[in-house]
Amino acid sequence: MPPVQSVPEPRRVATLADVAGLAGVTVGTASKALNGRGSLRAETRQRVLEAAEQLGFSPNPLAQGLLAGRSWTVGLITTDSIGRFSIPVLLGAEDALGPEQMSVLLCDSRGDAIREAHYLRTLMARRIDGIIVTGRRTDPRQPLPGTPDVPTVYALGPSSDPEDMSVVPDEHGGARLAIRHLVESGRTRIAHITGPAHHAAAAVRADGALAELAAGGLEPATGRVHFGEWTEAWGRRAAALVLRAEPDTDGLFCGNDQIARGAADALRESGVRVPQDVAIVGYDNWEVMAEACRPPLTTVDLDMVEIGRVAALRLLDAIAGNRTAGTRTVPARLVVRESSLG
Amino acid sequence: MPPVQSVPEPRRVATLADVAGLAGVTVGTASKALNGRGSLRAETRQRVLEAAEQLGFSPNPLAQGLLAGRSWTVGLITTDSIGRFSIPVLLGAEDALGPEQMSVLLCDSRGDAIREAHYLRTLMARRIDGIIVTGRRTDPRQPLPGTPDVPTVYALGPSSDPEDMSVVPDEHGGARLAIRHLVESGRTRIAHITGPAHHAAAAVRADGALAELAAGGLEPATGRVHFGEWTEAWGRRAAALVLRAEPDTDGLFCGNDQIARGAADALRESGVRVPQDVAIVGYDNWEVMAEACRPPLTTVDLDMVEIGRVAALRLLDAIAGNRTAGTRTVPARLVVRESSLG
C-alpha cells in the first residue's frame, strides 16, 4: 500500500486587514503607513511595517488600484466563442498589454446576449480600465450596452457606431491583393468562388475582387461571383461548375482557404493541373489548411495579431486620456505558396 | 466637411477613497460604514452612505476580496499558446466557474519559461484564488515553481508530481474504443498509423490499440505500429505503405484526424473504397477536419470541455478547503460517422 500522504492546507495570502490587525491599527492607518502617506507617528508606522514583514505582506496592485481608481485590468469579450479568428487577435492584444502590466480578464459570451450582459456587469464591478470586444464575424455589431465610462475598442468586428473605436482587417484590400497577384502572373480568366452573400466578409471580398479585375480591364470568368458556403464541399462543387461553364478559366480566387482547398482537390481529381492550368488563391492563411492543401495554397493573411496589437495600443491610449474615435484598418498581405506559381 | 465630434472624456469610477473624501472620514471608517461593521456614530454612517450614493459608488468585489483575502479570480495559464486543444478546456472551465462568479485571468505563456514566471508573479500579486494550467501536449510537465499556497489544477497535460491535482483525457481508453468499434464491425486486419513515438499521445494511444487488439486475439496488420508525423502527408504515405505491405488490410486506426484524412484521400485516389474495403477511425474529433473528410470520419472525442469543467470544479473545491490530490481521468467517447460503417 502506498503511504498516506498529507495534503497541505492552502495558506491564505496576508491582506492589509491582517497587517492592520497584527499592528493594532485601522486598515486606513495601515494603508497610510505602507504607502508613506498621511501624518503618522514614527512608532505606528514602524509597527505596521514590522507586521507587514512578519506576515509576508507585499504591495498589492488591487489595493493600490482601488486607491488610484484603476485596476490594471482589461476585459476581453469574445462574442462568437473563442476560436480560430479571435485567438490571434487575443495574442496580439496580450503582446501589447503585457509590457504595461495589464492583465486580461477573459469573457466568452458565445454570441449570447444574457452572457454578454452578465460579463459586462462583472467587468464593471471589477473596475476594469477598458474593454476589447472581438468576435469571429466581421459584420458590424451593436455597441455594448451601458458602458459609457469605460474605454472600449472593437477588434475584428467593428461597432456599428462610427464614433466608437474599432480596428478592422482590410477585407477589400486583401481581395485586391489576391486578384492583382493572379493578373500579374498572367492570368486573365479569373473566377471568384466564395461564402454566403449575406456575410460581410464574402460581400466585401467580392467587391474588392471585382474592383481589381475592373482596374485590369477584366470581367470575372463566368461573368458573376459564385456565392455559396465557407466549406470544402462547396469549393469542390463550385470549381467543377466554373470549369464546366468556362473551360478556359486560368485563375480561381476563393473567399476562404477551405473553399480553395476543395477547389484544388476537385481540379486535381478531374485532371486539371494546379497551378499550371489554373492558379488558385485562398483567403485567411489558416496555416494548417493552406499547408495541407495539394499544392500548398497561396492565400491572403489579414494579420489578426496586428489587429489585436493595434486595438490594445488604442485602448491604452484611451485609458491614458487620449481617446481617438473611429475605425482603423490594418493592411492585409499575400502569402505566396505553390498553388499560384508557374 | 463632417461636423467636428466631441469625444467624451472617460469618467473615472468612484472609489472608496472618493467616498471617504466626500464624507470627510478615513478610508477605514468609510469601509466600516458601508460594510455595517465596527462601532460608528449613526450620523457618520449616514454621511458615508449619502456620499456613496451621490458618487454612484457600488459594492466593489475587489475591495470585499481584499478584506476577505479572496479576489474571486482564477488564473488560467496556457503553456503552448491558446489553440485547438486548450480552447475547449478553457470553455469548460469557464462554464464551471461562471455560476460561482469567478473571473478568469488569461495568461498565455507560449511555452516560454520567462513568460510563465512573469505571469505567475502577476497572478500572485493579484491575489488570485487558484490557478488552472493547461496546454496542448499531454506529456506530464514540471509543476509551476513557487506556488505552494495557491490551489493549482493541471488540465490536459498533467503535473509530473502525482500529488498535484491533474485532470487528463483517457488516451488509452480512447484508443481501445476505436479498435473495439473496428473489431465489432467485423474488421480483423487492422493497422495503426500515428504521430511521433516520443509524444505521449502517440505512445499511449498505440499501447491502447495493441492492448485492445490483443484482447480480441489479434495482431496489428503489418505486425507493427507505424509512427510518423501528425500530418495529412504522413497519413497519405503511411496508408499507401500499409496497403502495399498488407493488401488485405480492412481497418485503419489513425492517431489523429489529420492522419486519418490523409489516409482516406490516399485510399480513394488509389481506388480503395472507404469504408467498404477499409474502415477508418481517427482521433480527436476535430470537427472541421472530420466532417470535411471524404467520407466523414469516425473518430475518438476526448471531451476536452468536460476536462475543463472537472478541473474547475476541483479547483473550486480546493479553494473551499477540500483539496483532493492526484490525477483524475475523464472518459473518451466514439463519434461514429461514415468512414467506419458498412
DSSP letters of A272-285? --TTTT-EEEEES-
Q: Cα distance from B129 to chain A (closest Cα, Å)?
A: 9
* B277, pLDDT greater than 60: yes
The closest CB to that of A82, out of B87, B118, B151, belongs to B87
> What is the Cα–Cα distance from B83 to B78, expressed in whole angstroms?
9
List the 14-43 stretch of A: residues with Cβ below 8 A of B. Answer: 14-18, 20, 26-29, 31
- Residues A79, A128 share a domain: yes
| Averaged pLDDT, B186-190 | 97
* A101, pLDDT greater than 50: yes
* A167's grid cell: 480596428
B44-53, B186-195, B222-231: range with lowest mean pLDDT:
B44-53
- Residues A196, A136 share a domain: no
> What is the Cα–Cα distance from B334 to B342, expressed in whole angstroms?
17
Provide the strand spans (E) within chain A.
Answer: 73-78, 103-108, 130-134, 152-155, 165-169, 190-194, 226-227, 251-254, 279-283, 298-301, 326-330, 333-335
Tell me if A66 is assigned to some domain. no
Q: Cα distance from A10 to chain B (closest Cα, Å)?
A: 5
Using an 8 Å CB-CB cutoff, list chain A residues near B106: 76, 90, 94, 104-106
Burial (CB count within 10 angstroms: exposed 0-12, middle 13-18, buried 19+), residue B42: exposed
| Averaged pLDDT, A127-142 | 87
Whole-angstrom Cα Rg for chain B: 28
CB contact under 8 A, B122 and A105: no
CB contact under 8 A, A15 and B66: yes
Tell me if B67 is assigned to some domain. no
A27-36, A274-283, B68-77: range with lowest mean pLDDT:
A27-36
Q: Which residue has the cell 469557464?
A: B94
Band (pLDDT 50/70/90 cuts) for residue B156 is very high
Q: What is the CATH number of the domain that holds A286?
A: 3.40.50.2300
- Residues A187, A249 share a domain: yes
CB of A304 within 8 Å of any CB in chain B? no
pTM above 0.80, yes or no: no
Q: Which of A5, A7, A57, A309 to mutate to test the interface with B (most CBs of B within 10 A)?
A: A7
Question: Based on the structure, what is the number of domains in chain B?
Answer: 3
Using an 8 Å CB-CB cutoff, list chain B residues near A9: 321, 323
Mean pLDDT for chain B?
87
A325 Cβ contact partners less than 8 Å away, ≥ 6 residues apart: A162, A163, A164, A165, B5, B7
- Residues B275, B218 share a domain: yes
* A6, pLDDT greater than 50: no
C-alpha angle with apex A47: A42 to A53, nearest 5 degrees?
125
The closest CB to that of B62, out of A9, A31, A62, belongs to A62
Domain of residue B27, residue span: 16-59
- Residues A267, A182 share a domain: yes
List the 48-87 stretch of A: residues with Cβ below 8 A of B. Answer: 58-63, 65-69, 71, 73, 76, 81-83, 87
- Residues A243, A194 share a domain: yes
The answer to whether A334 and A178 are in contact (CB under 8 A) is: yes
| Averaged pLDDT, B125-147 | 85
Strands A165-169 and B251-254: unpaired
Q: What is the CATH number of the domain that holds B54?
A: 1.10.260.40
The answer to whether B7 and A325 are in contact (CB under 8 A) is: yes
- Of B334, B207, B338, B326, the C-alpha closest to B278 is B338
> What is the Cα–Cα distance from A88 to A309, expressed in whole angstroms?
10
Interval A235-261: pLDDT, tens: 999 999 999 999 999 999 999 999 999
What is the per-residue pLDDT for A10?
37
> What is the Cα–Cα distance from B45 to B33, expressed in whole angstroms?
5
Band (pLDDT 50/70/90 cuts) for residue A151 is very high
List the 217-276 stretch of A: residues with Cβ below 8 A of B. Answer: 231-233, 258, 269
The closest CB to that of B122, out of A10, A71, A103, belongs to A103
- Residues A326, A309 share a domain: yes
**Quick one: closest CA in B to A15, which residue?**
B69
Band (pLDDT 50/70/90 cuts) for residue A148 is low
